[in-house]
Structure 1
Amino acid sequence: MKSPTQTLRLLTANIQAGSSTRRYSDYVTRSWSHALPAGQKRSSLDAIAKLASGRDIVGLQEADPGSLRSGFTNQTHYLAERAGFNYWAHQPNRRMGGVASSANGLLSRLEPVEVQDHALPGRIGGRGLLVARYGDGDEGLTVAVAHLSLGTGSRLSQLDFISDVLADYPNAVLMGDFNCKADRPEMRVLYHKTRLQPPSCVVPTFPSWGPDRAIDHILISDTMKMLDTRAVPAAHSDHLAVEMEVEVPANSLR
């Protein structure tokens, strides 16, 4: 007899703090938007809130926690309110001269029993792992959000750290901006130490205006079943978001 399952709708999005990047030249010509509260950030956030509103759990990367460039708006909190999420958490990790700041974020319709905040290792500090636990005991659902480094060596140490955090949890989800493809050599430590599996469907997400690199992922344990996944625009961010429907063991949420 098949064990009962529950379907969850997941989303991960690097929202670039609500900034707009539609071509490579924008990194230069619109660099001011990464430091100043101008532009269409609020309308971009509203578009992201509309996308998130149909999901159960959302992981965010590059959400401004309330610096000058966001008009001192905690963007994770703003999205939670606009999209109707009762539960949210954020993890500020990178601060750039008091002008800009960046955070991982979590929006959830389910109430976590615990939220953990881990600093990730790396040659340059400022990366983090945000972990939410649902259900009872080690069999409960664990959802982790991360934004990994650009350098291979730092990514390897970060993935090794994440593997140790998730190793004892059979029902786990890891989502975020990995800055690498899922079949890169440094990813093997994750698949070896945990029950997380490489994605069965490759979804290019970067750059958003002509995606040819799959660097944003939702990885799930072998106890779960992916029903559907696709890449979708996250307003005008330089990354596409990834959405997924997944079957999880029903007892992992109790």
Structure 2
Amino acid sequence: METRRLRLLSANIQAGSSTRGYHDYVARSWSHVLPAGNKRGSLDTIAQLAGEHDIVGLNESDPGSLRSGFTNQTHYLAQRGGFDYWSHQPNRRVGGVASSANGLLSRLEPREVIDHPLPGRISGRGVLLARYGEGDAALLVAVAHLSLGATSRAAQLGFIAELLHDHPHAVLMGDFNCSIDRPEMQALFRSTRLQPPEGDVPTFPSWRPQRAIDHILVGDGLRTSNARALPAAQSDHLALSIQLDVPDSALR
């Protein structure tokens, strides 16, 4: 069977803000709602990393609020990284001055991209679903940022499981805010053809990574290799990069 190798990246970019230690969550909290700091420089660094990949899923990408200087950060990264195709899903506003979105950057043209709101105790979470190719064998790429609470996370993963239920060529990437061994993650694996990764790649916190909470999960019809955590400028998460072998039939 002919396959094509793609490079995938999942990155929580923290809207271009800088966090170099837990103290910055307090000392630099203003940077999460105001357009100060070198966010443009951080985005340029992230764009350089993204540009080495074929499909990129973004979390906490500001779609154009006060804190980003009204710049749609997903669009900016697409332009700077040389991506012909991009999409974003605004899903949360913070105090009227900040906004957050899931984003997708792609060198391949998706057949369709659909936004789905996710359930949860607090609204404002979503999953961005892109389809490449036709029919049941198509490559599906879902980008999500899950809740901190286990109950909401379980409901969100249950919803995503229905979207990806029996697809062998599905990919689910993003900031899950939990490790693979959590009960809600095990329920996801039982309900879909997604497979647990071969090993943990810690991504959080970026300055001393101890927790594997950013994941790229793939269906049993796909093969991965070379999973690595890479700096996403000064975000509090490292980005996760993998190589993905996809059957040509899934892209046609």
Query: How high is the sequence identity, in percent, across the aligned residues?
Result: 70
Describe the superposition over 1:151-203 as per-residue Cα deviations: whole angstroms up to 9, x where unpaired. 00000000000000111322100000000001211112211111100111210
Deviation at 1:5, TM superposition (A): 1.0
- Of 136, 155, 158 in structure 1, the residue corresponding to residue 156 of structure 2 is 158
Amino acid at match of 2:185: M
Tell me, yes or no, if structure 1 residue 169 matches structure 2 residue 170: no
Which residue of structure 1 lines up, in the alignment, with residue 22 of structure 2? 24
Give the superposition deviation at 1:66.
Answer: 0.1
Structure 1 match to 2:183: 185
> What is the CA distance between 1:55 and its match in structure 2?
0.4
Alignment of 1:49-68 (within 5 A): 49-68=47-66
- Note the C-alpha offset of 1:213: 0.2
Q: Residues 85-124 of structure 1 correspond to what in structure 2 (within 5 A)?
A: 85-124=83-122
Q: Is the 8 A contact 2:166 2:193 kept in 1?
A: no
The aligned amino acid for 1:245 is Q
One-letter code aligned to 2:135: G
1:147 corresponds to: 145
Across the aligned residues of Structure 1 and Structure 2, the Cα RMSD in angstroms comes to 0.6
Residue 15 (structure 1) aligned to one of 4, 13, 16: 13
Alignment gaps of 5+ in structure 1: none
Contact 2:140 2:169 in 1 (8 A): yes
Are the equivalent residues in 2 in contact too, given 1:183–1:198 (CA < 8 A)? no
> 2 CA distance for matches of 1:207 and 1:228?
21
Q: What does residue 251 of structure 1 align with?
A: 249
Q: Distance in 2 between matches of 1:212 and 1:228?
A: 19
2:198 to 185, 197, 200: 200
Displacement of 1:17 in angstroms is: 0.1
Question: Which amino acid is 1:200 matched to?
Answer: E
Residue type of the alignment partner of 1:96: V
What's the offset of the Cα at 1:97?
Answer: 2.2
Structure 1's consecutive aligned runs of 4 or more residues displaced over 3 angstroms after TM superposition are none
Partner of 1:79: 77
Residue pair 1:14, 1:239 contacting (<8 A) in 2 also? yes
Deviation at 1:212, TM superposition (A): 0.3
Asked whether 1:136 is paired with 2:134, we answer yes
What does residue 233 of structure 2 align with?
235
Query: TM-score, length-normalised on structure 2?
Result: 0.99
